[in-house]
Structure formats: C-alpha cells, structure tokens
A and B are shown apart, each in its own frame.
Chain A
Amino acid sequence: MNQTNRSQKSAQTGEIAGKIAAGQQIGGGDQLQLVTFGLGSEEFAVDILAVQEINRMMSLTRVPQSPPEVEGVINLRGKIIPVVDLRKRFGMASAEKSEQSRIVVVEVHGRTIGFIVDRVSEVLRISSKIVEAAPSMVCSVDSDFIAGVGKLDDRLLILLDLAKLFSAESIDAAKAA
C-alpha cells in the first residue's frame, strides 16, 4: 500500500468515500492507513497519504480580514501556508493550545494547508470493511465533511473528507453562515 502512487490512492479513497456515501458495504480486503487525531472527546482520522507532516505548535502570523477559522500563516520550509483552527472550522468551542496541540499539514487539490488539532494519537491500519457511511447525527461535525465512520472494538473513528473540508465553497459558505 505504501508503494501505491498517491494519485491512484486518493482516487481509490475517493471511490471508497463515494461508496460509503451511497450507503454500500465495501467488499474486498482493502486496507486504509490513517492518521488519527483528537478534538475534544472525539477522534478523527485522515488518509495518511494526504498528510505531509505533523508539527508542534509554532507562532502564527495573523492575517487581517481573513476568514475567521484561519488562525494565521506559517513558514513551512520557505512556503507560506495558511493554518486553520479545526475547532473553529467545526464550530466547536475554542480551547487553549497545549503541549499536545499539533499542526497537521495536508495537501488538498494542490494546496498545502495546515490545521490545528488538540492531539495526534497514532497511525492506524484498518480494513475498509469496518467503515460505514456516517449516520446523519453522529457527532458535532457537519456530516458533509465526513467520509465515513470506522467502528473499532472500543471506539468510533470519524474519517474526514479533506477535499470538502477545505474547498473554497465550503469555507465561503461557513463564512456566510
């Protein structure tokens, strides 16, 4: 799986997400490799191939008149990238940044974006069989952003759809709301 080329992989994940959305069970023994992280009491996951790196909190430069959920910009090896506070993006109560806070840097549609999470938990490999479409009221997050829900033995894992999460329309819509 690690050798799988990125675009192929993301196409595949897109397909899975599509199937999940259509409410189908996924056949075959496809494995998903995910990075999991926490916001409050809930646990989220994104495809590991979308993740470029995970950084400790660093000082951010605020940008005037930027969308509210944009916390600021950082210097990522010479490239200036925006950092979004995921709590604000999801409309959760904001929390103080702690030692555990991390900036997860992802690439979505050629854009590099960082988002702040409360903590990063682990890298997990799960079977796509245990991933199901999200019920409409599963958590505090708008179900539009959820690619599926992974049912682990002891807990639920919310798989995020990064493309939707950081697309222009959704950000603007959130701003308008």
Chain B
Amino acid sequence: MSGMNFDPELLQDFLTEAGELLEQLDQDLVSLESTPQDLELVNRIFRALHTIKGSASFLALTNLVSVAHAAETALNAARNRVFVIDRGAMDLLLAAVDTVKKQFDNLRAGEELLAPEAGLCEKLIALGEGRAAAAPVAAKAAEMPKVMAVASGATSSAAATATAVASAPAGGGGGGGDPFEPGAVTSAAFALPEGKADLLEFLVADVEATLDQIQAQVTRLSDEAQRASAASAMADLTDALGRSVDFFGVEPMVRLTGVLRNVSTAGSDLPNATAPKVSRAATVAVEMLRETSKGLLGGQLVSRPLDSFVQACEALLKDGGEAGEPATANVAAASVASNASSATTSEGSTIAATSATPAAGEPAAGKAHEHDGGEKKAAAAAGDQTIRVEVSRLEALLNLVGELVLQKNRCAALGRQLSASTWGTQEYRESVQQATSSLDRVTSDLQVAVMKTRMQPLEKLFGKYPRLIRDLARKLGKQINLEIEGGETEVDKSVIEELGDPLIHLMRNSCDHGIESPEARVAKGKPEMGTIRLMASHEGSHVQILIVDDGKGIDPAFISRKAVEKGVATEAQVSAMSDREKMALIFAPGFSTAEKLSDVSGRGVGMDVVKTNIEKLKGTIEIDSTPGVGTTMRIKIPLTVAIMAAMMVAIGPEVYAVPLASITEIVKPEASQVSTIRGHKVMRLRDTVLPLLDGAELFDLPRKHESERPFAVVLAISGKRVGLLVTRPVGQQEVVIKPLDGRIDKGGPISGATVRDDGGVSLIMDMAKLLAIAERRGGGRADVAPASP
C-alpha cells in the first residue's frame, strides 16, 4: 500500500475534521459505558466512525479503514442488540479508537500507517457476529470478515474481473438481464480507478449495511408519530451513504442517493396522505441502489433509466404528486416489494417496473426541480455556519488592528492639539474631535472583535478527560466519576494549548493521590464512587478553573515532613509556615509524595511544572484542602495571553512593561531605608526586608538616574517578593504581547515585547526569570533574606 502521495491539503482537512470526530468519539464511548441503552449515543458513535472511515477510504488509508470498519461492525451489532456493551467490549472499542489515533499521528508525521494490533479487528468482528444466527443483520455482519480478507488482494481480483467483463460483448445484454423489462436494465463493464479498486468490497458492504438501515427508517416514515425521528435518522444515513457513493463516482447511485436525501429533508413535514407513497418510492430507490451496488461487486455497472423516476419523486415530495402518478408509484413499489426478497438472495435478479413509474410525473417536474434546488441550497447554507481559518491569518489581522490602534492614538493626539489651538474655525475643530472619538470607539470594538475570533471553548480540553479518568480509574482499581461544568467557557486559543498538560497532571494527581480505594472510602463512610468535579467560569477578565475532589485531602503535617525529608525546605522554615503555605510546598521543584512510583503520577517533576506552566500564562494556582474531606485546586488565568495590563516603567533611557498583576505597590524609598547585605541591596519596607534588583544593572543600561532617587516597584511572584529599582513609573497601559525573534532572545529576563502608544517598542519583563535572578543573588529564597542590622 502506498497511500502517502495524496494532496496535502486534503490530508490536512481530513486530519482536522476527523480529528475532531475522534475526540468526540472518546467522550461518547465513555458515556456509553455508563448508559449502554442509549441508542441515540450508539448511533452518534456509529456515524462518527462511519464518517472517519468514509474519508479514510477516500484517501486510500486501508489500515485505518479496516480498524474503523471492524469497530463499526461491532457497533452495528450493538445497535441491533446482538450483544450488550460491557467493559470488555468497551475496552476493545477504545483500543480501536486508540489505534486510529496512533494512525493519525503516523499520518501527521508522514509515516506509513501502523497496522492494527493483531487480533483486534477479528475480536471486534467476532463481537459483531455475536449470536450470528439470530438476526439477519447479524448474519450480514458475519459476512464482513470475508470481505476484509479479500481486501488486500482486491486490486488484482477486481482488475481481473473488470477485464473479463470488458472482453464480453458490450451493448446492454451483459450480466443481470431483466426478465420482465429487457430494455430497462443496462449493464456495462465497470472498473474503478487504481487506488480505489481495493476498496470496492468495503464500499459495497458499507452501502448495503447503510441501505438496510435506511430501509428501516423508510418504513417508519409512514407512521406519523415516528416520522420526524425517522427523517432525521435517515438524513444522517443518506449523508453517510452519499459520501461513500460520491467517492466512487457511480452516477446512477449518486442520483438515487440524492432522491433519498430529498426524501429525508422533506420527511418530517410530509402530509399523512403522501407519506406512504413517499415511503414506497424511497423503497424503490433503495432497491435500485442495492441492485447497482451488487453489480459493482461483479465489476458491472447495472443501471436503469432514472430521469423520470427522479423527477417523479421530486414532484411527489413537492406537492404530493400529480394525479395518477401515485398509482404508478404503487405499482412500482408493489412489484419491487415482490422482487425484493429474491433480490437479496439471488445475485442476478433485479427490480422491475421502475421505468414505468415516472412517465406521469414528468410534465410537472421541470419547475418543481428548480424550486427544490433552491430550497436545498438554503438548507445547506443554514447547516454551514462556520469556516476554518488559519491561525496565521488571524494573527496577521490582529497585528493590523494593533497598528490601527497606534495610528488612532496618533490621530487622537493630533485632534487634541488642534482643539487646544486656534487653528481653523471652532466648528472645524469640533468636527475633527468628533471624528477622532468615533474612530476611537470603532477601533476598540474592532480590537475586541478580532480577539474574540481567537477564543475557543474549554470543552476542547475538557472533552478528553472523561476517557482519561476512566482509564486511570480502571488502572488504579478505583471508582471515579467525573463531573464537568462550564465547558462552554471561552478562552484564547493559546491559553487552551498551554493549559492542557497542567490540567491533565492535576486530574491525575486527584485520581492517584486524592480519591481513595473503594474499600477505604466505604470504611470512612463515603460513597464507594469518588467524584472529581471540573468547573470553569468567567471572573471578570479571568477564567477560574476548579478541580474539586472528595478524596482524602492533603495533610499539611505530612507535606511539611516530606518537604524536609527531600530537602525542599528546612525544619525552621516549615515550622514558621501556615497550613496553606505548607500545602503550597507540593509546588516546590523536586517534591513528590508518592510512596511508590506509579506510571500515573509521582515522578516528582509534576507540580512544579504545573505551576510554572500556569505562571507562564500569567495565571495563579492555589490549593485548599481539608484532610479526609477533599481537595480543591483553584486556577485563575487571564482570558487571553495576547493582551495584558501592564505598568510601564522607565529605566534610564528605556521604557519597560511590568505585568500589573505582579505589582503590589510602588514606593520611593528614602536613602536611609536602603542598605546592603553581602553586597546586595535590600530595603526595609515597613516590618520586612525586601531584596532589591537594580533595573539599570539588570538590563545593562547606562546609570543615568544615579543622582536621582529611584522608585522601587514591589513585585510579588509566587508568594515571594522582590523590589525592582526603576527611574520612574510612566503609567498603566493595556499592552498587546508580541513574540521576540527567537534568535535575539537569549535568555534575558524578558518574556516578549510590545508596541507603545508612541510607536516605540518596549520589552516585557519576565517575572519568573527576575525572581530566579533575585534568588540566585540572595543565595536562597528571596523573601527569607536575613533581617537587616
């Protein structure tokens, strides 16, 4: 198989679309485990798998198709109640989804697709076979393995059949002649293009399975009570069918699928009088599709004249059909029905009378057709409310808006100058003023609107966790229920990306260290099933995420003992700490409380990384815990990392931006407050001693402010404090954070750059790095500098 040379754009589309479906699949499968009776859910999973399979077969990814197909087979059986989905079945299904995920990784890396694990497909199909003899559908499922076995050698066999047929006399006689209507059925040699041929068996099996399901819905159409649900189920099915059929480009099948699609669209609004007729016409279409697809398997394109049938169906849907026409449809349906049973059993038999159906409907059909086309377009437009846009384009847009804001500021400044002057008439000056202020408003709105395009719901992250928790719980032998709230809360795309790993880690910790084993829980009088709640909500310009578990909680005494053992803190330090500070010790580098290493958590590199990552997002994390009752992790992050409130400070000739969130106060120390300890400056601030960093020294700037008394910006970072000496504060400003070219950012205490009101560039200070520098100098933690003399 060499499926690696297809259009990269197509592949990208496939990866994004199918990737989203995959994520949804994980989630749905996990919820299915707890509600195996939820037929709607099974259907949704089935459809997602089916869509992935369809697109994959389009790209000739045979390995992927075979896994998806096997899983689909199993699900189909589940749908038909051949077996009940239990843990074992779920493990198999999840394994299949995992395989597909790995194959996606292969695809992204441009590697050959991983073959499914030996036996996985077989097990799934065996599952699908269930009590094979019981139901006809199960019997059909039993045919699948045969199909799969043929798949690999299919290219050659299909090609052989094609040539064999081609050598036979062409001209209509061909294979499946119709005993009743000799002229109606035409049959021609048919061969799929190279690369698609080996998928033929899949298609046919797939089309037939789908047709069975469509037929079931079609029958339900005549019943008013079930009509709406049947129509919507049918719409999904015909969509799936349409994708498979479009891929193979067999024209009559495409048209017949179109008819079915129209039926499903109109289905829910069908008047009672027409419904049975429509149902019968749809049956005819289904049978014709079956006929053609069977023919394909033998390398033949079996078709009938369709023009009049299609038009008649459209007319029927439009206005209940012309006089006389329903009768013909009846006839057609009747004869089809009589043939249907034999059609399914004998390869050669075909459906009669379809050609007779349409003649009467034809006259009215022209107009109806046009009308219908318009409606379909409208429906399609309504369903397609989103478009995919490359992030780089949004970024470009954001940059342009930033530039616009600058120019707007300049205009505003000029307007102010003008108003203050006596230039021009009073009226003229006022209108300039008005124009600049409305420009101001529009630009701000525009900026907000563009920022919003980058917002995504947290659901994108949260969706992965039910699966994670389920697997962890099984591995750890615990029972854990995950409740998610506020998944619709939106944050900036970059926040979502950075937040993923820390959240996973915290959830793992809750499962591993938080929730107790079922026995321990029962002994404590708690319910066997532990609960982890993941909640997100907006809080002003921040998003708050809570991870609450009802586990054993964190014991401050235990934590501080461990911290001393691991050399994270000294006995003296620990004894001076509050409970909350003790708990915060789990964020210290090198701290791990796991008694034994597990592959779930406990490598000792976790929590400090979590904290660092969250701080990178300019966020904070706090722990609150009651021993025996549970633990709450509270994360606060700004909505976006692209914009930040900053204090602009001048240091010598340059202006820097300091994140406002880190500043507690700005003071102008008297000379007597400042002293030196071991060569490093400190200042006395009320009762405490604050280590000082000299901004000019830190940024290698000329020390122009030597004569002047500097200001000290007091920064609080991760509970530690440090004072930064600056020439003077300039003012507060919302800054748009821009990345620095990686080549010039060589590790200085800078996290990015921003453009000021006047068009100049200011660097944004990196608080974590500043703190690290201060700690290096102080030879320990910044706020534990020895008391001044």
Interface residues of A (CB under 8 A from B): 59, 61-67, 70, 72-75, 77-82, 111, 113, 168, 171
Contacts and interface: CB of A to CB of B under 8 A. Distances in A.
Nearest to A113: B741
B503 interface: no
A80 B699 contact: no
Interface stretch (B329-337, B399-407, B519-527, B616-624): B399-407
Given A66-B744, A70-B744, A77 B403 contact: yes
Contacts of B759: 75
Given A75-B759, A77-B399, A64 B698 contact: yes
Interface string B729-747: 0000000001111011111
Interface string B749-773: 1100101000111110000000000
A64 B750 contact: yes
A79 B399 CA distance: 7
A6 B760 CA distance: 31
B762 A61 contact: yes
A74 B400 CA distance: 16
Given A73-B753, A78-B399, A79-B738, A61 B763 contact: yes
A21 to B, nearest CB: 25
A108 to B, nearest CB: 11
Contacts of A67: 743-744, 746
Contacts of A61: 654, 753, 760-763
A75 B740 CA distance: 11
Contacts of A75: 755, 759-761
Contacts of B366: none
B747 A65 contact: yes
A66 B745 contact: yes
Nearest to B760: A59
B700 interface: yes
B748 interface: yes
A62 B759 CA distance: 15
A173 to B, nearest CB: 13
Contacts of B753: 61, 73, 80
A64 B753 CA distance: 12
Contacts of A73: 740-741, 744, 753, 761
Interface of B: 399-400, 402-403, 406, 654, 698-701, 738-741, 743-750, 753, 755, 759-763
Contact of B748 (A64, A74, A78): A64
B697 to A, nearest CB: 10
A61 B756 CA distance: 12
A72 B744 CA distance: 9
Contacts of A168: 743
Determine which residue in A66, A168, A171 has the highest number of CB atoms from chain B within 10 A of its CB, and name it: A66
Contacts of B744: 63, 66-67, 70, 73, 82
12 contacts: A61-B763, A62-B701, A63-B740, A64-B748, A73-B744, A73-B761, A78-B399, A78-B400, A80-B740, A80-B753, A111-B743, A171-B743
B748 A66 contact: yes
Contacts of A81: 741
A130 to B, nearest CB: 35
A82 B755 contact: no
A153 B753 CA distance: 47
A149 B604 CA distance: 60
Nearest to B752: A80
A79 B753 CA distance: 10
Given A78-B403, A111-B743, 10 more contacts: A59-B760, A61-B760, A61-B763, A63-B763, A64-B699, A66-B748, A67-B743, A67-B744, A73-B761, A77-B399
A59 B655 CA distance: 12
Contacts of A113: 741
A168 B746 CA distance: 13
A171 B742 CA distance: 13
Nearest to B762: A61
Contacts of B761: 61, 72-75, 80
Determine which residue in A67, A72, A73, A80 has the highest number of CB atoms from chain B within 10 A of its CB, and name it: A80
B746 A65 contact: yes
A82 B747 contact: no
A59 B761 CA distance: 9
B755 A78 contact: yes
Determine which residue in B700, B738, B741, B750 has the highest number of CB atoms from chain A within 10 A of its CB, and name it: B741
B283 to A, nearest CB: 57
A171 B744 CA distance: 10
A70 B739 CA distance: 16
A112 to B, nearest CB: 8
Contact of A78 (B402, B654, B740, B741): B402
A63 B755 CA distance: 14
A-B interface, 8 closest residue pairs, ranked by CB to CB distance from nearest = A65-B748, A64-B748, A78-B399, A78-B403, A61-B761, A66-B744, A82-B744, A78-B402
Contact of B746 (A62, A66, A77, A80): A66
Contact of A80 (B698, B741, B743, B747): B741
A110 to B, nearest CB: 11
B260 to A, nearest CB: 47
B395 to A, nearest CB: 10
Contact of A82 (B403, B654, B701, B743): B743
A64 B770 CA distance: 13
Nearest to A111: B741
Determine which residue in A62, A70, A75, A113 has the highest number of CB atoms from chain B within 10 A of its CB, and name it: A75
Contacts of A82: 740-741, 743-744
Nearest to B756: A75
A80 B738 contact: yes
Contact of A64 (B406, B700, B739): B700
Contacts of B402: 78
B19 to A, nearest CB: 26
Nearest to A83: B744
Nearest to A77: B403
A73 B753 CA distance: 9
